[in-house]
A and B are shown apart, each in its own frame.
Chain A
């Protein structure tokens, strides 16, 4: 506070006399909601869990060490990040062309694509996941079709393994990537592409040297959103994964719902939160750097 008032005194008279920025008040409802519905319950959960923990500090540290360095936890951590990374890349590869198409589409075709991407969100994630099971099962539509046209003789293992998790999660998370990329791509001045072309660049060169770099902050934002959402997933991997596809959120769920071990669940949740915040910090630095080099 002292530092703040000292800084104020050094301002020019004109700046000091300026009225405070009231537009910040517009954020008040959002802030209040975030604090009341997210921050306070979460802090209460952690605080109460640790207050109720039976045993001293030494026992708590021992529990934390046993839990966070246990083989199941570390394996789940590795699995979680591997799946999140793969899903992020897959969604990026699929989403980038779709987002690009949306920026160029005129008339109803664009709306139809947007609708096709967003429409599944009007049903619950459970329903959507079960629909995948109908498609990807051993006797599902995909395998039956491939067998009928003679491409394969044995059914492809598309479900109840890592591939199933990746397909299911990529599908669910695709819209986040597409819509984020779309927003970034819309802000790219088409004149720049025309300039590149007019100056002798081929379509591919224009993409590599101009369009992609300018869409990069959208790629980063989209990747971060998808990654952060991915590491918290548990319904899709629980339904579509195999025996080994255990993600952190599934462990937390089990500690909470099955073992009713709140300290363990709280510790795992905190570790997941820490990973998420660390990723966000990296993202923040990256976008900051981006602004420094003057990209729009």
Chain B
């Protein structure tokens, strides 16, 4: 019962964060992190392979990747819990290889909150201050500030087991920021929360980060979470960084098929790359049909390639006349099936000479989905297409 009530109470005060007076948002000057050739090996296996990154002060930076991609190991090396086998970690230009974890001065939020079960909420949040030998008065002042910030002002006397998962997460967050660290490291902090609560916490974390102007290095395997919160994202795959960029860029212009698929539903239509033309690159499907993409692709003519297009960029019209133009690609096909996903209708369309193409349409009241077997034409802008090298 406690959980439901308090969560509702928390949700009922959306303006709380904005009303807080201190500290005022400032342009962050501290908290720049640079990784140079950071490497970690366990036995024969290289789990982090020469990662290089540069994170600006005040930036919200996510390490995104599937499990086993090396993102948590990278974070643990930054935190100081795992010793790198090669490379350097620089904080504001200084190598912190020799600095033990407790002296690095990072705020940290852990996957399962890591709330101290024997301490009250107040003492949990006070922990980093007491470890730094703050005076009692200053501790009380700062802890209540942090608890107000995460909207747990009335919960100081409670114990961890009396809190819901979301509240525990807020305690962990308050504990990480209470001493105003320039950098906060977060390891899948929302992984244990249900979907709605997770979204809510994403907003809160982002707001607090901006308000306090702190650098956040955030590890997650959830691409939506990474995109909704981050200034930039690094996509990790098997210990290497496949791509770094702002959410829009990595979503729309993935560096390779892996990144394309990992960030959301993606169509990757295989074919042979035709010689470069002035007006762009062309991909010839096994059926002989040609698809176009803007020039600038790193692929050379004659090689195998893939045309990348997001399902929501494709228009679908009944009919069989698939003629593209300089601005549009078009493909003829037949509806294979349609799935209702709430806000969207997801079609799988059989197209000659390639795997079924996925198309997402906004669902609308009173509109019947197209029946299976219906002939349709798929059409999308050339500008939204991208030709990627085929996977090895």
Q: Does A189 contact B (CB under 8 A)?
A: yes
Q: Which residues of A contact B41 (CB under 8 A)?
A: none
- Inter-chain contact A200/B118, CB cutoff 8 Å: no
- Inter-chain contact A201/B127, CB cutoff 8 Å: yes
For window 186-218 of A, CB contacts with B under 8 Å fall at 189, 191-192, 194-202, 205, 209-210, 213-214
- Whether A294 contacts B117 in the complex (CB less than 8 A), given A199-B107, A199-B175, A200-B102, comes out as yes
- Inter-chain contact A200/B81, CB cutoff 8 Å: no
Q: Which residues of B contact A200 (CB under 8 A)?
A: 102-103, 105, 128, 131-132, 179
For window 104-162 of B, CB contacts with A under 8 Å fall at 105-108, 110-112, 114, 116-118, 127-128, 130-132, 159-162
Q: Does B369 contact A (CB under 8 A)?
A: no
Q: Does A15 contact B (CB under 8 A)?
A: no
- Whether A195 contacts B131 in the complex (CB less than 8 A), given A202-B102, A214-B117, A294-B118, comes out as no
Question: How far apart are the CA atoms of A202 and B103 in the complex, in Å?
Answer: 9
- Inter-chain contact A199/B110, CB cutoff 8 Å: no
Q: Which residues of A contact B100 (CB under 8 A)?
A: 197
Q: Does A37 contact B (CB under 8 A)?
A: no
Q: Does B257 contact A (CB under 8 A)?
A: no
For window 191-219 of B, CB contacts with A under 8 Å fall at none
- Inter-chain contact A197/B102, CB cutoff 8 Å: yes
Q: Mark B71-108, 1 if CB is under 8 A from A, else 0.
A: 00000000111000000000000000000111101111
Question: How far apart are the CA atoms of A142 and B160 in the complex, in Å?
Answer: 52
Question: How far apart are the CA atoms of A115 and B108 in the complex, in Å?
Answer: 40
- Inter-chain contact B118/A295, CB cutoff 8 Å: yes
Q: Which residues of B contact A194 (CB under 8 A)?
A: 81, 101, 110, 114
Question: How far apart are the CA atoms of A132 and B132 in the complex, in Å?
Answer: 48
Question: How far apart are the CA atoms of A210 and B108 in the complex, in Å?
Answer: 17
Q: Does B176 contact A (CB under 8 A)?
A: yes
Q: Does A293 contact B (CB under 8 A)?
A: yes
Q: Which residues of B contact A293 (CB under 8 A)?
A: 118, 159
- Inter-chain contact B116/A192, CB cutoff 8 Å: yes
Least CB separation from B176: chain A residue: A199
Question: How far apart are the CA atoms of A205 and B101 in the complex, in Å?
Answer: 14
For window 273-296 of A, CB contacts with B under 8 Å fall at 293-296
Q: Which residues of A contact B175 (CB under 8 A)?
A: 199
Question: How far apart are the CA atoms of A295 and B161 in the complex, in Å?
Answer: 9
Least CB separation from A194: chain B residue: B81
Q: Which residues of A contact B105 (CB under 8 A)?
A: 200
- Inter-chain contact B106/A209, CB cutoff 8 Å: no
Least CB separation from B133: chain A residue: A205
- Whether A198 contacts B118 in the complex (CB less than 8 A), given A293-B159, A294-B160, A294-B162, comes out as no
Least CB separation from A199: chain B residue: B128
Q: Which residues of A contact B160 (CB under 8 A)?
A: 294
For window 226-261 of B, CB contacts with A under 8 Å fall at none
Q: Which residues of B contact A294 (CB under 8 A)?
A: 117-118, 159-162
Least CB separation from A192: chain B residue: B114
Question: How far apart are the CA atoms of A293 and B158 in the complex, in Å?
Answer: 9
Q: Which residues of B contact A205 (CB under 8 A)?
A: 131
B residues neighboring A (CB under 8 Å): 79-81, 100-103, 105-108, 110-112, 114, 116-118, 127-128, 130-132, 159-162, 175-176, 179, 185
12 contacts between A and B (CB under 8 A): A198-B79, A198-B106, A199-B127, A200-B103, A200-B105, A200-B128, A200-B132, A200-B179, A201-B102, A214-B118, A294-B117, A294-B161
